[in-house]
Structure 1
């Protein structure tokens, strides 16, 4: 227990973003205690409110609700002079502005980084785009699928010889959001040192490429483009999913000590002396044959039985679970409190994933439900000394 304020208490963020990468970034900041003001257009707000995912009770989709807790919503028409004036009233009270428009749109609206920093030189202004603000792809649409395709990520997903496959978890979107949050925190730290704000940017494309650490390493080491490996690892073997009598488990025997332990637990000690598997390089070169040998040994017992024996024998292993188990039955998820409920004024009690961060001195909290469109317009504009028009929510 602590009586300290949240880590980012006192930091105000103007959030011009929508869909995923930007809202994920600002939700991270909001969870850490920042006052995140979600600036939305008065007509429909964030695209995900009504056109993405599943709507259950009200009009706001569960996609929107999953990314926008701990924020306040303000409706401002940035295409009108009055709306831009309202925005700059907020700028003068803010620490951070973040947008994920296509390059050039913020400038056309009059809310680009040069104008904002001129109005408040202490602002940290962050942009997330599909491909960055410069370069030959800068104008391309910013979609996770396209970024995964063009960075090479899709070329290494799936099973060997299979069709191109994307990561089901949108790593380019979420990665860009996380990188942007790190950049914002770094810029705020620099501002605390020298008093100056700055502009920063990242992109879905660069996030996807930056996460391709093993793939780029393999290419530079071999001169050949990496191929899909299914669940296997590029740098060690065995490190992948393997079939059992009733399903699959994962095993990570990524050094010689663990390899010998694995063979002991599976009662295949003879594989240690097999020249095909003499060391990690040989095991990677003969991965298909290695899988055949290991799965033959695993075929006689269930996943849970083998996982228990492997862990007892000091071998990293785990079962492959589906989300029904993870979200409703997993005792570790429950013990770590990775699912929290929020009381929403329309939806009632909804479940969302908690922040994975544990700050024991300044705990992460869920303080606010995802906002209704324009729910906080009057109070936020009043805080900035600007009266909201009577027609504004």
Structure 2
């Protein structure tokens, strides 16, 4: 509607040359903020496309063009795309950008206002620079796997910790560079690594002081740090309890009728609540709490504790948030239709604004779905587009 504020990044054009997750997740965030994102794929396509539904989640709402950068005509077409763009982002290994002519120096000469997002695994100029990396390798080298495994065998997270973290970091850096461009009119290269994500995830390790409590470590049977800040089994499932103040502990005691727990420790009143906060995760106090919750389902336990003012939540199955009533009511998720897969649930948007952001309801397109339309938007004539298609410099879907 005329006069309504646009989405925060409306009018911004982003070229995504990334693959897998670490790079493309950054452009996905920018698309959620209202940017026009064009995925630029080579003739072989993004190898991550074999993970169909996951690919959709990381590329929803994007357009797609296939350009062969190994051909002179393809490079010329790509340079025209660069002239039209505000941002370009990728996550290829060092050396590849220079070889195919997508490095910052080359692109800045074509478009000085371009903000280039560069994601690598290990950074440049070190023995690991040229080697590929995937999330488990970063978890291993950073110590995260050891922290999760505790004193036992190492235990890696099944989540894409570094891919998501790095995509978020590069998107944040790109926004900062765009803000700086408003000041001086020039673009710049934003460089981050998956190693940066490892450091970010472990930022607490940099805080060292006399008397600092020992950092929490995981384990294959790790349920938490204290009796009131841990997972407790229920009649059905588990509940997570996170009491962190004397008020929380006192509310838990009242909700579960455990007034004698503090007395058993030799203290009462507020002092008893404080003592309960320090009670070990395995011990008499923890056993009493578990016993009090044993007759409840995880949902019932979470509701009971939350109503009393104790931070608590049911432990859902993996992917349980897709069908959980709270997530549905919170409006975090939305449904998109994918022609080959059918209706899919994805994140509606990762942030909200008081303005009028655009809702993304489109799935990720097949390779080259927007080739003809994007080139026409650059001013290419039908005959020029036909020549490029015939030469194999660009491709479209479906092929004519």
TM over 0.5: yes
**1:4-30: CA deviations, max 9, x gaps?**
222111111111001111111111111
Return 5+ residue gaps in structure 1 as ranges.
53-60
Query: Whole-Å Cα distance in 1 between the matches of residues 153 and 209 of structure 2?
Result: 21
User: For 1:242-321, what aligned pairs fall within 5 Å after superposition?
Assistant: 242-273=232-263, 274=265, 283-284=277-278, 286-289=280-283, 290-321=285-316
Report the aligned-residue RMSD: 2.7
* 2:369 pairs with 1:369: no
Query: Whole-Å Cα distance in 2 between the matches of residues 220 and 26 of structure 1?
Result: 43
Counterpart residue number, 2:154: 164
8 A Cα contact 1:339 1:352, kept in partner: yes
8 A Cα contact 2:332 2:349, kept in partner: yes
Counterpart residue number, 1:355: 349
* 2:155 pairs with 1:154: no
**How far is 1:216 from its partner?**
4.6
**How far is 1:129 from its partner?**
1.3
Q: Which of residues 101, 107, 123 in structure 2 aligns to 1:132?
A: 123
Counterpart residue number, 1:77: 68
Counterpart residue number, 1:39: 40
8 A Cα contact 1:68 1:370, kept in partner: yes
Distance change >3 Å, CA 348–CA 295, structure 1 → 2? closer
The range that moved more, 185-194 or 378-387, is 378-387
Distance change >3 Å, CA 212–CA 324, structure 1 → 2? closer
**Runs of 4+ with deviation above 4 angstroms:** 218-226, 275-285
The range that moved more, 106-115 or 357-366, is 357-366
8 A Cα contact 1:340 1:353, kept in partner: yes
Query: Whole-Å Cα distance in 2 between the matches of residues 296 and 250 of structure 1?
Result: 15
* 2:93 pairs with 1:94: no
8 A Cα contact 1:338 1:353, kept in partner: yes
Query: Whole-Å Cα distance in 2 between the matches of residues 342 and 256 of structure 1?
Result: 45
**1:46-91: CA deviations, max 9, x gaps?**
11113x3xxxxxxxx2222121111111111122222222111111
User: For 1:203-242, what aligned pairs fall within 5 Å after superposition?
Assistant: 203-217=193-207, 227-228=217-218, 230-232=222-224, 238-242=228-232
**1:226-277: CA deviations, max 9, x gaps?**
63252425xx763221112332101111112211221222222233352699
Counterpart residue number, 2:334: 340
Instruction: Count residues in correspondence.
Output: 379
Query: Whole-Å Cα distance in 2 between the matches of residues 3 and 371 of structure 1?
Result: 29
**1:196-218: CA deviations, max 9, x gaps?**
11111112121122111334547
SS of corresponding position for 1:356: coil
8 A Cα contact 1:148 1:205, kept in partner: no
**1:79-121: CA deviations, max 9, x gaps?**
2222222111111111001010011211111110111112211
Distance change >3 Å, CA 219–CA 14, structure 1 → 2? farther
8 A Cα contact 2:170 2:191, kept in partner: yes
The range that moved more, 283-292 or 192-201, is 283-292
Return 5+ residue gaps in structure 2 as ranges.
none
SS of corresponding position for 1:66: helix
SS of corresponding position for 2:224: coil
Counterpart residue number, 1:29: 30
8 A Cα contact 2:227 2:279, kept in partner: no
8 A Cα contact 1:358 1:364, kept in partner: no
Distance change >3 Å, CA 376–CA 337, structure 1 → 2? same
Based on CA coordinates, which of the two structures has the bigger radius of gyration? 2
8 A Cα contact 2:334 2:346, kept in partner: yes
Counterpart residue number, 1:63: 54
8 A Cα contact 1:237 1:254, kept in partner: no
Structure 2-normalised TM-score?
A: 0.86
Distance change >3 Å, CA 225–CA 326, structure 1 → 2? closer
* 2:322 pairs with 1:327: yes
Query: Whole-Å Cα distance in 1 between the matches of residues 145 and 60 of structure 2?
Result: 31
